[in-house]
Amino acid sequence: MEAVSWVRDQAVGINGCDEWLTELADFSKVYLMGSSSGGNIAYNAGVRALDLDFNPINIVGLIMNQPFFSGVERTESELRLVDDRIVPLKVNDLMWSLSLPKGCDRDHEYCNPQNPNVSLIEKIKRLPKCLIRGYSSDPMVDRQMAFANMLEAHGVHVIKKFDDEGYHGVEIFDQQKAQILYDDIKTFIWSFGDKMSTL
């Protein structure tokens, strides 16, 4: 949320504005993006931003690449990939035990977005267009697909990009997958209408 506030401050010129942003940024089209835990953060920040006034910036899209979610009940992909070389289930569980508020389990809303309460559902319905990406050899793929379906069920416009070949963080290791991620993001941003820079 501090990062979103910084962008708003740039848009209104608080403490000056970076010259590059002044010349090139379109503050009326802001996107929140993250990969893995960053995808989870982009979602949760997007939900929190709905309650705040960031005028004149406008968050028009969320980009979540392989968002990192979990839950108490195991999914088929978690069980199938229990000893995954990137995120084995024991490591996944340990990271959540270190990250969640004291006394909470993996069904906490920050970890498992599948059962939102009524007030959260009303916020979810107001989320902007979302791009959600994942790979079949990611232990969290079932959760990512269920998350995308949950958003759609609440009326959110979701673009789903799930690939049969790939694993958690594959873009770090595979240049072709990194290019596909870049192309998916570019296509998503261009889907908002105005012709964008080729940077």
**CATH (domain of 181):** 3.40.50.1820
Task: Tell me the residue range of the domain where 34 lies.
Answer: 2-69+118-190
Q: Catalytic residue, from 77, 84, 137, 168: name it.
A: 168
Catalytic pick among 70, 77, 137, 138: 138
Distances (CA, A) of 192 to 11, 13, 14, 61, 130: 20, 26, 28, 9, 12
Nearest alpha carbon to residue 158 among 64, 77, 67, 70: 64
Residue 137 lies in a domain: yes
CA nearest to 154, candidates 4, 43, 57, 77: 43
Which tens digits make up the pLDDT trace of 1-20? Answer: 999 999 999 998 887 778 88
- pTM for the complete prediction? 0.93
Indicate whether 29 belongs to any domain. yes
Q: Rounded to an integer, what distance in angstroms lies between the CA atom of residue 2 and that of residue 51? A: 14
Q: Tell me which amino acid residue 14 is.
A: I
At a CB cut-off of 8 Å and minimum separation 6, what does 11 contact?
17, 25, 27, 56, 57
pLDDT in tens, 46-100: 999 999 999 999 999 999 999 999 999 999 999 999 999 999 999 999 999 999 9
Q: Is 138 known to be catalytic?
A: yes
Query: Can you list the positions of beta strands (E) in the chain?
Result: 30-35, 59-65, 129-135, 158-163
C-alpha span between 173 and 149 (Å, rounded): 28
Structural domain count, the chain: 1
**Is 83 a residue of the active site?**
no
Terminal-to-terminal C-alpha distance of the chain: 26
Tell me, yes or no, if 36 is annotated catalytic.
yes
27 found inside a domain = yes
Which is the catalytic residue, given 35, 36, 70, 137?
Answer: 36
Summarize pLDDT for 26-44 with one digit per residue, the tens.
Answer: 999 999 999 999 999 999 9
Quickly state the pLDDT bin for 199 (edges 50, 70, 90).
Answer: very low
